Chain A
Amino acid sequence: MIMEKKNSAGYKPIEAMTVAASQLLHDGEVVFVGTGLPMLAAILAKNTHAPDLVMVTEAGIYDPNPEHLPMSVSDARWFKGSPWSGGPVELMNFFLQKGRIDVGFLGGAQVDKYGNGNSTVIGDYLHPERRLPGSGGACDIAIQSKRTILIMMHEIRRFVEKVDYITSPGWKCPGYPQQDNLMDRTELGLAGGPDAVVSDMGVMKFDPRSREMYVKFYFSGLGITPEKIQEHTGFAIDISRAEPLPPPEKVLFDILRSKVDPEGLFLGR
């Protein structure tokens, strides 16, 4: 459980990143929600600026607005009040593979400068230092959503030059089995691509030409600077375009704490 003290800003980094991520979801979009902070951010968006946001999960959940925070993509808490429910084959194919998902919203353990995500292993896949939970639907969702948002804590071991394993393809990825060099995802015929990486320090976007990550916003209200983001990033990241993100309205934090996660399951207390 992440336990952080609130700072002088009156909100915690994990709250700032959840609110910033929710702001990236637009009303009326269909968002494929991964487990963890994506669930909180999507539920927050649904209960603030995006009442017509349609959340779906790989376990078969469609268009819920849960009264209590689910612990997983399969939680019974998603079900009450949903207009329909399906199975994983329908959600992963009739929805996702068919191209009906606007936003894939994922967590992960590592991301590289091209937005490749890793939730499988730390170290060599064949001789792992630390085995992680695995893809789940992350690989499928990153390949077939119209755009992808990744959310993870900003640490030098997480924002790396090259991920140890590509679970979720980003903008430049290998074209196995023939090609193990990185190539542009459009050459592989993949849809979408990473739109943003949201961390507890700011919001990163990708340059449309170089396909590399750059800092778009930093959380100045938390004392974050572009230089601090560079210090916590394991590759040279472009900070020349970085802007301070105006502190979010206080009411968003109130809703996040009182309505979305009042038990402090993900946000701590």
Chain B
Amino acid sequence: MNKVASLPEAIAEVQDGDALVFGGWTIMRTPMGAAYEIIRQGKKGLYLSASATGTISDLLIGAGAIAIAETSWHGHELYGPAYNFRRAVEQGRVNGSTFIHCEETTNSVFLRNYAAAMGLPFFPVFTHKGSDLLNPNYDTLREQRSVNPKLPAHKYQVIKDPFWEGEEVVLLPAARPDVCIIHVHQAGEKGTVLIEGPEYGDFCFAAAAKTTIVTAERIVSEDVLRKHPERNAVPGLFVDAVVELPYGAHPGGCFGVYDTDPSFYEEYVNASKAEESFNLWLEKWVYSVETHEGYLQRLGQEQLNNIQADPEYGYNPALNRRK
């Protein structure tokens, strides 16, 4: 089956209220182009259960698209703090929408999705013990749990290991992502995915979700990808739609293709300091450009030239990162 779709077609599969998960890592290879389209299509009430989400979650939260986030880290690394996220948590609402955050850790997010990928209802871990992650008063989703069918009945449970020494084990509920979106280097028309450089757990997320959308720098023939199956990260069976989207991780980087974009980050981070200025930023970079192609045109070839990766390194060693 040919799974190639346009970006608007693929993102139309995302429903208001869906549980979402994204691949990539903070400022690296997150599906930013797909997130811009989610905002353009006016999706609301989304539920994000993802790990080191960085720019993509700050963007979607700032646009008022996310109602609930169970996430572990927010920021643009050295480019600055996640002001939209910060404001949303401190005020409990953003751009007219309510927002609830519940703290997770890198491992809890991944293992909750790992359980989902394996069809398990929960996963045992030793992490979180001794921390406020287990503080029952800090379960910010407690009141929602009985009314929102997307949420598990408890944040966690503790049992004694019934098989070995009887140590206390924390059980974390499986995530139940409706849609996973990853941005990758190459994808075949049947959904086979090739990732270069760090994988960041994209395979786990793609396996966990009911529907997986892949945006790729390039769509290539499945025959090419079949030459080296061991290099491919995700089998086409797990993939529902494939979209060709060059620079689909911008302003984040994509290993071996382009680096992060310091000047774009400077503009984003400054704009995100207040809702009003961020809304102007959204108008300039998301709404008024109308399409991904319009976004790239507004960026201009010169800015894209500045971030090209040196194939020898996988990044741009001459990038001026102090912008």
Binding site for B on A (CB under 8 A): 1, 35, 58-61, 67-68, 71-80, 85-89, 92-93, 96-97, 120, 125-126, 128-131, 133-140, 142-144, 165-169, 173-177, 180, 185, 188-190, 263-266
Q: Is B197 an interface residue (CB 8 A)?
A: yes
In the complex, chain B residues 109-161 whose Cβ is within 8 Å of any chain A Cβ: 110-111, 114, 125-138, 140, 158
| Residues of chain A contacted by B158 (CB below 8 angstroms) | 177
Other-chain contact of B322, A67, A72, A80, A264 (Cβ < 8 Å): A264
Report if B315 contacts A (CB, 8 A): yes
Check if A139 sits within 8 Å of B136, measured CB to CB. Answer: no
B140 touches A176 (CB 8 A): no
A-B contact pairs, 30 of them (CB 8 A): A58-B106, A59-B52, A59-B198, A60-B201, A61-B198, A68-B313, A71-B321, A72-B26, A76-B198, A76-B313, A77-B313, A77-B315, A79-B197, A88-B106, A88-B204, A92-B110, A131-B85, A136-B106, A140-B107, A140-B128, A142-B131, A143-B129, A167-B132, A174-B130, A174-B135, A175-B129, A176-B136, A180-B135, A189-B129, A189-B167
Q: B212 near A: Cβ within 8 Å?
A: no
Beyond A61-B198, A139-B133, A189-B167, whether A131 also contacts B89 by CB under 8 A is: yes
> Contacts of A166 on B, CB cut-off 8 Å?
130-132
8 Å CB contact of A125 from B27, B138, B200, B321: B138
- Nearest CB in chain A to that of B128: its residue: A139
* Contact surface of B with A, Cβ cutoff 8 Å: 25-28, 51-52, 71-75, 77-79, 81-82, 85-86, 89-90, 101, 103-108, 110-111, 114, 125-138, 140, 158, 167-168, 197-204, 253, 255-256, 259-260, 309, 313-315, 317, 321-322
Residues of A within 8 Å of B201, CB to CB, are: 60, 87-89
Residues on A with C-beta less than 8 A from B75 are 133
B131 touches A173 (CB 8 A): yes
Q: Give Cα A31–Cα B189 distance, bound, in whole angstroms.
A: 41
Chain A residue with the shortest CB-CB distance to B233: A87
**Cβ distance B59 to chain A, nearest Cβ, rounded Å:** 16
User: Which residues of A lie under 8 Å from residue B79 when comparing CB positions?
Assistant: 71
Given contacts A87-B203, A130-B86, whether A137 and B131 have CB atoms under 8 Å apart is no
